[in-house]
Amino acid sequence: MNIGNIAGKIWKTLNKNGAMSINALIKETKIKNNEIMFGLGWLMREDKLTVTKSANVTKYGLK
């Protein structure tokens, strides 16, 4: 598992589709839940993400 590659795949997916939930990211990227979390953490640390929550759904998007 290369977290940088996972973060890159997540970034490309969000760039293409806009803000998405974790479940939508898992379905779209075929990446496991724990690896999605690592990738999102990487992108958050790099200040690349926005996080919004509505109706008990958290969505992650690009800044």
pTM of the model: 0.92
> What is the spatial distance between Cα 8 and Cα 16, in angstroms, rounded to a whole number?
12
What is the average per-residue pLDDT within 29-48?
A: 96
| Residue ranges of domains in the chain, CATH in brackets | 3-62 (1.10.10.10)
Q: How many CB atoms lie within 10 A of CB 11?
A: 17
Residue 1, pLDDT above cutoff 80: no
Q: pLDDT-derived band of residue 35, with 50, 70 and 90 as boundaries?
A: very high
Q: What is the pLDDT of residue 15?
A: 98
pLDDT in tens, 10-26: 999 999 999 999 999 99
Strand, helix or coil at 5? helix
